[in-house]
Amino acid sequence: MSVDQPELQSPENLILSKEKLVSKTWSFTSSSRGVVSPHCKFLISGFVSGILGHGACWWEFNANQLFLRDHTDRPTAAFDRFFMDSAGHLSLTGRSLLDADLIFILNERAAISEICEDSTDVSFISKNRQSRRRNLVVIRANETSVHPSWPIDVRTEDRNWDLCTSFYGDASSFPMNDFAEYQVLQNKNRKWPAIHKLFHRNSPLWDYDYFLFPDDDIDMSWGSINRIFDVSRRLNLHLAQPALGAGSYFSYKITLQNELFNLRYTNFIEAMIPLFSRFAMEICAPTFATSHSGWGLDYVWSYLLGNIPRSIAIIDETPVLHRRPVGNSYDTSAARAEMYRVMAQYGAPISQSAFGGLVPSGWRLISSEPVDECLSNPSDKSFR
């Protein structure tokens, strides 16, 4: 398969740098598969976001060459030719170090979305934080939200998370009489575009290590939230969610609690109640603005973070209850069309698989390939 390129030139004084690589967004093309990823990034941490396969997990820049490495740190590709088109856009040509016939091309492209630079219509009402808690729960809530009645099974001083309430109800009901450290009125946006605005570059909400974004019909206790954050931190998870317990309304069987496991490693987390590490938030927060309904974002997040082994999981030991039917408040046909559009923009596939997990006895089951269906699809008996 030939790889088409725009007319390029290679100025003698064209010198690539780490800063240039990190500051730009790229598309990744293979001579065997065509466009592998329409949207990828090289992060300052050395992580490659948005390329699945081809051993592109980590990157380094050395002696004016870009090298890609797999999760074992084995070099898999080298880019040593740099070009610039008439509009000043960069392209890099490289070769596979595992297959001499494979040619790779990176082309600079415009980012689909960025972290919000500022948001003049976001004004926080903040209470004094009692201590420097390292975790944050952000909930989009209106007058019917269940979160004010979450069971309080730990003392306030033992809560390891702060709460931000993004209120989308009637302005006359704001601020809510809840226990939030932050409140903000955002009744003109749906969940994920509103959260995109909350996390502008100067937002105080960035001052945390982990972030949980439940829908307002999720019922869980304060202690369960503590444990969700504790498990995620202990296992160094970057993207996670608690499983949905018995009696929950659900869309995907993989998200239902599997009592055989404390936790299952997966390649899918639903947008209903995702948890992000700070690392994952910096990668995924720009996507929040791309989907009005939120459909499709869950596939995109897993895809952007999918190169880090055992970093994505469903936590079965902390089940929560989803109280309301899915799709009652919006047009699901329009949401489904939006899902396919968003996934195509990022090149994310539809995939929901489990790759092992942790069991109560302490044993760890790990596989590089999807494992037995019972890990992904527990019986739906007793589920609505």
Q: What is the pLDDT of residue 184?
A: 92
Q: Quick one: which of 1, 38, 40, 28 has its CA closest to 92?
A: 28
Per-domain residue ranges for the chain?
18-109, 125-376
- Residue 128's pLDDT band (boundaries 50, 70, 90)? low
Q: Distance of CA 158 to CAs 244, 295, 302, Å?
A: 25, 35, 31
C-alpha–C-alpha distance, residues 207 and 132, integer Å: 10
Q: What is the pTM of this model?
A: 0.89
Q: Quick one: which of 336, 330, 331, 375 has its CA closest to 352?
A: 375
**Is the model more confident about 207 or about 327?**
207
CATH number belonging to domain 125-376? 3.90.550
pLDDT per residue over 329-371, tens digit each? 778 899 999 999 999 999 999 999 998 899 988 777 766 666 6
Mean per-residue pLDDT for 8-12?
51
Which of these ranges, 75-84, 135-144, 358-367, has the smallest mean pLDDT?
358-367
Residues 6 or more apart whose Cβ sits within 8 Å of residue 356: 264, 265, 364, 365, 366, 367, 371, 375
Domain made up of 18-109: CATH architecture:
Beta Barrel (2.40)
pLDDT at 61 over 90: yes
pLDDT per residue over 283-313, tens digit each? 999 999 999 999 999 999 999 997 677 899 9
Residues 6 or more apart whose Cβ sits within 8 Å of residue 25: 39, 40, 41, 108, 109, 110, 111, 112
**Is the model more confident about 311 or about 128?**
311
User: pLDDT averaged over the chain?
Assistant: 88
CB-CB contact of 9 with 111 (8 Å): no
Mean per-residue pLDDT for 99-122?
90
Q: What is the pLDDT of residue 125?
A: 82
% of the chain residues with pLDDT over 70: 89
- Residue 372's pLDDT band (boundaries 50, 70, 90)? low
C-alpha–C-alpha distance, residues 310 and 308, integer Å: 7
Q: What is the pLDDT of residue 126?
A: 78
Written as one string, the DSSP assignment of 33-66 is: TEEEEEEEEE-TTSBEES--STT-SEEEEETTEE
